Structure 1
Amino acid sequence: MDGSVSIILNSKIQVALDQYREEEEEEEGGMSFLDHLEQLRWHLLRSVAAVLVFTVAAFLAKSIVFGKVILGPSRVDFVTYQTLCKVSNWLNVPALCIDVLPFTIQSRQMTGQFSMHLTSSMVVGLVVAFPYLFWEIWRFISPGLHLQEKNAARGAVFFVSLLFFAGASFGYFILAPLSINFLSNYQLDPSILNEFDIGSYVTTLIMLVLASAIMFQLPVVIYFLSMSGLVSAAMLRSYRRHAIVVILIIAAVITPPDIISQVLIAMPILVLYEVGITIAKRLEKKRAKKEAAENRDN
């Protein structure tokens, strides 16, 4: 009799546990691998659609996007050059004023202008749609995070987008104009004229802008690495010298071969690295306070 009672109780407990697991899976979504793929497909489709919409808008606004934005740093009336000339007059340092860009842009291929029109439109569409792209990615990833991780990553879309546009603006208004000025004035011999192909100019501009935008994500990367416990503030401080060397190497790779451009891209990245150390230190303090509170409760 006792054995039958225990069997009945065990069966009821097992049924209750199975029901609890089913309810928990339903609350978490209970999606299969194919369901996740379907969800990912829709996120990607919406992201591609957003990029296409902005790409078409940029393609139609050729006179603004290409005439003023893309070709802006190639003209002396660009806002960066005008600002440098004003600073030059204020400081009485004529060397700072950039009033001549001794180069011309040519298209040496039959499809050169059309292909660069398409390329520049797609890049503009990608840059403008970036916050929505990251938001779609975050919507796909966030359901798989724990509540604590979601709270810790609150505002990720805003800060990632902010750093992306800050980096792109730095690359477009600071790094690109000074690099173009250096390359246009660099001559092996006065008899050699600088006549740049449109493809080379657009590729260089895009590389500088996007590289800066990506490099400015360093604090976000450090934040998530610190959250996962892979890095610490002490570790980042101990490897500061190594980080400086790596940053200088990366700056040398993504910028033209002049020391000014390399220093310009390296300086803000070094500042962001120090910001990352501060972020990691604050996370460690919060983690220590939480563990101390839990120990007191126990």
Structure 2
Amino acid sequence: MSVENEEQEMTFWDHLEALRWTLFRAVVAIVLMMVAVFCAKEWVFDVIFAPKNSTFYMYKWLDIIGQNLHISSLRFEDFNLKLVNYELTGQFMVHLNIAFWLGLILSLPYIAYELWRFVSPALYPNERRPIVWTFVSGGLLFFLGVLISYSLIFPIAIRFFFTYQVSPDIVNMVSLSSYISLFTTTLICIGAVFELPILVYLLSKFGILKREFMRKYRRHAVVIIAILAGIITPADPFSMIAVCIPLVLLYEASIYVCKK
């Protein structure tokens, strides 16, 4: 009996059972990644806490650029952001929180593979290649967004918020939970934003979104991106441009993948 005939003979309950095992394997993958991240505590938090010190490579690069281009806002003295913990269980809960989110992020490729295994038998051969492209491209774009967020956007945000003062009489004391909250939120949000080309591709495939519409409102999109960049970056042109460029390129890529 061929695989196609066997799939056609599967009942609703057979598909439900297959879905149950797919979800089970995905949950197991997440748990295993969580355990791995939890056990690698020192290395993981060394990476997470690297942007809170002026020795972080991005700060050094910004300082060099500021020195060469004479941009004073990119020049800064050495700093070391001291984190404080106000709750007895705070550090343990932060450890669990990071283990969960990083475990989920790192297990996404396997989860995508499991979803592909579940849906692929129901697809025609000519439908499988676009779906594979969607899964692979979506994963690569998400991790690219996470990398850019960690290397550029999060450090810029940390430096801005830590040095910002409404009065010199007020000293910033940053809690561990607020630092981790900004870290996870920034990484996940920027990673999700980088899924824009995939979302546009799917919407255009179903006829919901047209390329002409995105071209028509390109200027509006650039203005919105500039406003968002101005919110999360210091008030200097270079920092805003550094954040705007990836997002604008992302929008242009979305226009490219959008069907006519």
Structure 2-normalised TM-score? 0.86
Query: For residues 99 and 47 of structure 1, do their structure 2 counterparts lie closer, same or farther at Cα, with a shift above 3 Å needed?
Result: farther
2:4–2:121 contact (8 Å) kept in structure 1: no
Matched, 1:190 2:168: yes
What residue number does 1:44 align with? 23
| Aligned sequence identity (%) | 34
Larger displacement relative to structure 2 (138-147 or 191-200) = 138-147
Matched, 1:214 2:192: yes
1:64 aligns with 2:36: no
Structure number with the bigger relative contact order (C-alpha 8 A, sep ≥ 6) is 2
- AA at the equivalent of 1:211: C
Look up the match of 2:134.
156
Q: Which residue of 2 aligns with 1:83?
A: 61
The more displaced of 142-151 and 105-114 is 142-151
Task: Quote the offset at 1:126 in angstroms.
Answer: 1.5
CA-CA distance at 1:88 after TM superposition: 3.2
1:287: which partner in 2? Answer: none
Which has the greater radius of gyration? Answer: 1
Q: Which residue of 1 aligns with 2:78?
A: 100
Q: What is the Cα deviation at residue 122 of structure 1? A: 1.5
The structure-2 alpha-carbon separation of the partners of 1:102 and 1:79, relative to structure 1 and needing over 3 Å to count, comes to closer
| Alignment partner, residue 98 of structure 2 | 120
1:144-293 to 2 correspondence within 5 Å? 144-244=122-222, 247=225, 251=228, 256=232, 265-280=243-258, 283-284=259-260
Q: Distance in 2 between matches of 1:92 and 1:246?
A: 28
Q: Select between 143-152 and 76-85 the one with higher mean Cα deviation.
A: 143-152
Q: Could you list the runs of 5+ residues in structure 1 that have no partner in the other structure?
A: 1-22, 285-298
- TM-score normalised per structure 1: 0.76
**Alignment RMSD (CA, Å):** 2.8
Q: CA deviation at 1:212?
A: 0.6
Amino acid at match of 2:18: Q
Q: Kindly tell me: are residues 245 and 138 of structure 1, through their superposed partners in 2, closer, same or farther at Cα, counting changes over 3 Å?
A: farther
Question: 2:32 matched to 1:32?
Answer: no
Query: Which residue in the other structure is 1:11 paired with?
Result: none
- C-alpha displacement at 1:215, in angstroms? 0.3
Q: Give the distance between the partners of 1:91 and 1:246, measured in 2 at CA.
A: 27
